[in-house]
Every structure is written in C-alpha cells, then in structure tokens.
Amino acid sequence: MPPSEPRVAWVFPGQGSQEPGMGHDLYTQSPAARAVFDRADRVLGRAISRLCFDAPAGELGKTANAQPAIYVASVACLEAAREAGALERRPAFVAGHSLGEYSALTAAGALPFDAGLRLVDARGRLTQAAADATPGKMAALLGLDEAACAAVCAETGAELCNINSPGQIVIGGTLDAVERACKLALERGAKRAIPLDVGGAFHTSLMEPAVAPMREEVAAAQITDPAVALVANDRALPVTDARAISDELTFQLTHAVRWVQCVEHMAAAGVTTFIEIGPGRVLTGLIRRIAPQAETKNINGVASLSA
C-alpha cells in the first residue's frame, strides 16, 4: 500500500502576537495584502492599517486595538500567500488560538472578511469592557502539568485559560486569585510563574458580560459551514457545522483554549506540516514542543512567501 498523502494544517495566531509594523512590507509589495488593509479601513471607518504599521507597542497592545489588527494582518498574510502560490496544498484542517479562530474561519470560507472584521472589532470592545468592569490578570505557569495547575486553580479561585504546550499553562482570574495561585504553584514545584502584560482575565468567567452581546453579533454574521474543518479550541475536535462554530465563538470567551489537544488531534490525524499564518511565531514555538516530529513553517511577511 502506498504511503498516505502528507497532510497540512493552517494555524492562526491570537492576541499577543501583535508587533509594531506588522504587515507593512506586505502592504507595499503585495497587491492582495494591500487590498485587505485598504478594505479594513473602509469597513471599520478608521485607519486600522495605520494602527498595524505605525502604532507604538502600548497602543497596539490594547485589547480593542490588538484584536482587529491581528485579524487584518493575518488575513493579509493569507491573501498574499495565496497570491504568491505559497499555499499549494489544501489544508486538512484549520485552527486558531483564541482570536485566531476568526482568521481560521475566514480561511476556511465560513466567515467573509467584512463580517469577520466586524466580529473581532466587537469582540475587542466587549472583552475590554468586561475587563474594565472586573479587573483581572493572567499568568503563565511553567513546569506543572494540567492536572497540577487545575488543582492550584481549584484551591485559589483562579481558572485555566490556555493549555499552550507541555509545561506551559496560562491561568487567569481576579488579581487576588491569580496572585494566590502563582504563590501556590511555586510552592508545588512550578519553575516560574510569570505575570502576563494583558488587559484582563480572558477565557475566564470574568468575561461573562461579553457573552450575550457577542452571541448576538455572531448570529448576525451569518456564518456558513466551512470548506475545511475547524479544530475548535473548546473541544479540540473538528467542527464542520455553522451552528457549532457559532456556539464555539461565544463559548471560548469564558473557557480555556486547549491548544495542546488541538495540535495533538491534528498530528494524530496525519498532519505532518503546520503553517502558521499571521504576525509573529508564537504558535510555531508551541507546536514544536507539542509535536516535535512535525514540520513547521511561517507566513508572516514578504520574505516568508518564498521560503
């Protein structure tokens, strides 16, 4: 029997991957990417392209700015890659880390760009409002497994937010809860407990005020069935139904991103190459720790289109 065809997955980064100047080289050299940025400016009625290209790190890092900026930059990378013929093989799956699910759904044909941009803009505003209403924080725990981190959270009131890679789990919650959890984690053998520079406790119950209004936004977006299965953050299993996808986009606001399990599922299903599409290289680093046998590639600028 001949060997099975190697399988590819396209993965898309979430908040935290933003970097000043992202996408500017694509804007100047790729007509397809330029069209994405120009359209984003028209759809939102403000210069999202200038935010990507010129905003200082502090301004770009604000949740309400970072989310639409990363989405636009990611779709610009995708369209530039398609234009350059850098994505020759149809993916077996798409996946995104948190916010990256919106870019993944656009890549899979389930979410038109204009609707996706309006959704992530609303998501940024709503999650920022929830964070302002109930201040919270997040921290990365290094050196403990998921069960140990879950036990720490159960005893302190913190919550699991991102299961990022073996030995790297992000927790969140109120300021006091996260401080208690970090202290307890260190007592129980964590190598480090690193506070994260983020605007709130995302993927925790503190985001609950954003759920109902976001559900209305998602319903209005008229999401369709994707042409490629999305491996969803909440269950780490493929989703191909528009209704299930809509549920996922609201559910993930208050529940953990199970990135380890997402990558493990794709690798077990025969994915041998993961292509990270969008700014930064965060997911590439995580995937190399989760599935070290897999090949990884990045498409995050002009130079990567011919790499």
Q: How far apart are CA 81 and CA 299, in angstroms?
A: 7
DSSP for residue 6: P
**Alpha-carbon gap, residue 258 to 146, rounded angstroms:** 10
* Closest to 64 in 3D by CA, of 195, 196, 200, 246: 200
Residue 181's alpha-carbon distances to 166, 236, 253, 299, in angstroms, are: 19, 26, 21, 37
> What's the CA gap between 121 and 11, in Å, rounded?
20
Q: Minimal CA–CA distance to 229: which of 138, 139, 109?
A: 109
Q: Is the dihedral of CA 215, 219, 220, 225 positive or negative?
A: positive
Output the six-digit token pair for 143: 């050196």
Q: What does the block give as tokens for 234? A: 């909440």
Do 178 and 108 touch, CB atoms closer than 8 A?
no
Tell me which residues are annotated as active site: 98, 203
| Cα–Cα distance, 211 to 108 (Å, whole number) | 24
Backbone angles phi, psi at 238, to 5 degrees: -65, 140
d(CA 188, CA 158): 16
Backbone φ, ψ for residue 83 (5° rounding): -60, -40
- Closest by CA position to 117, among listed 100, 104, 102: 102
Q: What tokens appear for 181 in the block?
A: 């959890």
Please provide the DSSP assignment of 138-152 as one string: EEEEES--HHHHHHH
